[in-house]
Structure 1
Amino acid sequence: MKLYIKYMVSLRCKMVVKEELKNLGLHFTCVELGFADILETITEEQRIELKKNLSLCGLELMDDKKAMLIEKIKIVITEMVHYNDELPKVNFSEYLSNIMGYDYTYLANIFSEVKGITIEHYIISHKIERVKELLIYDELNLTEISYKMNYSSVSHLSSQFKKVTGLTPTFFKNLKDKKRTSLENM
């Protein structure tokens, strides 16, 4: 049985879910960002208890089909942008459609309806947060970051960065108190 869990964005979240499942005597085969595969059928009492315990940790057990689909989209984008060494070289729409097994137009319409922003803007927000992270680490120059994040040029990256943050990448890099949005808040 698959359980869908909202706001899972880190390894720590996966550890919390594993611990809560163990506490309820549930055996899992897989716990990934956004879901857990369990061997048993969960009882209503276990579901209520799990929902309550996850809520205390800032996570949410989901029941609604649209919400589950939105969460899957967010997870695919988060993994694609933050946990891959390089972004895919295909269009994001094609990538999402292939991974999700749905027509991109359908995914985009549901995402916009529920989240109030387009998938494209959501991806751009994540890419800019990743760029900020790479700038803070100071291991790559702007050209290398541009290539890694699959921008057509440094100027495209710079203009998108400025449009989202109001700052140039260089100005951001030189700031003493660097502000990043945590993945949990995106």
Structure 2
Amino acid sequence: MILHIKNMVCPRCVQAVTDLVNKMGLKDVQVDLGILTISDGDSPLKDRKKREQLADQLRVLGFELIDSQKGRLIEQIKKEVITLARKSDGEKPSQNLSQIIANALHYDYNHLSALFSASEGQTIEKYYIAQKIEFVKELLVYDELSLSQIAFNLGYSSTAHLSAQFKKVTGLTPSHFKSVKDQKRKFLTDI
């Protein structure tokens, strides 16, 4: 049985859901970004009352079970975008964002884009840029890499391009952000 969970977008979220299912005594469970997979064919979650109990406990943690196909697609898009935005190997992808998303989800990108925009109030591209900038903020807070190293690792064409995009999204230059960093971070679910 595969359950999709809204707002489960980071490793701490995965850990929180893992702790919850362990506390509930669910066996043969795998928790991944946005997905809870229960291998047991006789899953207790087939029982409506137990499933509602899980849904209630997830809501307490700030998550939500997704029952619609559209909702699952939105969460899959978010998962793909977050994974791409946090890729920091210095290599530029061989395909553009729309091709990567369409290939990963096996849907026409125009359909995915319209669905995402209608649900989230922003385009996939803007969401991707916001996720990348949030990752840049995280890297700036760690203060282990220079801005040029961050730009290279995240596949920006130049430090100037990263700086311009950062300022457009945050209203601050990266150096100014570093001086006020603690006040400007957002949770991934708030983007």
> TM-score, normalized by length of structure 1?
0.90
Greater Cα shift, 162-171 or 172-181: 172-181
SS of the counterpart of 1:167?
coil
Q: Distance in 1 between matches of 2:74 and 2:117?
A: 10
**Structure 1: runs of 5+ lacking an equivalent:** none
Residue of structure 1 equivalent to 2:177: 172
SS of the counterpart of 1:181?
coil
Indicate conservation of the 8 Å contact 1:6/1:60, yes or no.
yes
Kindly report the root-mean-square deviation, in angstroms, between the aligned alpha carbons of the 2 structures: 1.8
Indicate conservation of the 8 Å contact 1:88/1:95, yes or no.
no
Residue of structure 2 equivalent to 1:44: 48
SS of the counterpart of 1:3?
strand
Q: Distance in 2 between matches of 1:88 and 1:174?
A: 30
Give the 3 Å change call, closer, same or farther, for CA 88–46 of structure 1 in structure 2: farther
Indicate conservation of the 8 Å contact 1:172/1:178, yes or no.
no
Q: Distance in 1 between matches of 2:55 and 2:92?
A: 35
Greater Cα shift, 124-133 or 170-179: 170-179
Indicate conservation of the 8 Å contact 2:88/2:154, yes or no.
no
Indicate conservation of the 8 Å contact 2:147/2:159, yes or no.
yes
Greater Cα shift, 102-111 or 18-27: 18-27
- Kindly state the Cα deviation for residue 3 of structure 1 after the two structures are TM-superposed: 0.4
> TM-score, normalized by length of structure 2?
0.88
SS of the counterpart of 1:66?
helix
- Kindly state the Cα deviation for residue 11 of structure 1 after the two structures are TM-superposed: 2.6
Q: How many residues align?
A: 185
- Kindly state the Cα deviation for residue 23 of structure 1 after the two structures are TM-superposed: 4.2
Pick from 70, 75, 79 the counterpart of residue 71 of structure 1: 75
Residue of structure 1 equivalent to 2:33: 33
Q: Distance in 2 between matches of 1:85 and 1:151?
A: 10
Q: Distance in 2 between matches of 1:3 and 1:177?
A: 35
Seq. identity, %: 43
- Kindly state the Cα deviation for residue 33 of structure 1 after the two structures are TM-superposed: 0.7
Residue of structure 1 equivalent to 2:124: 119
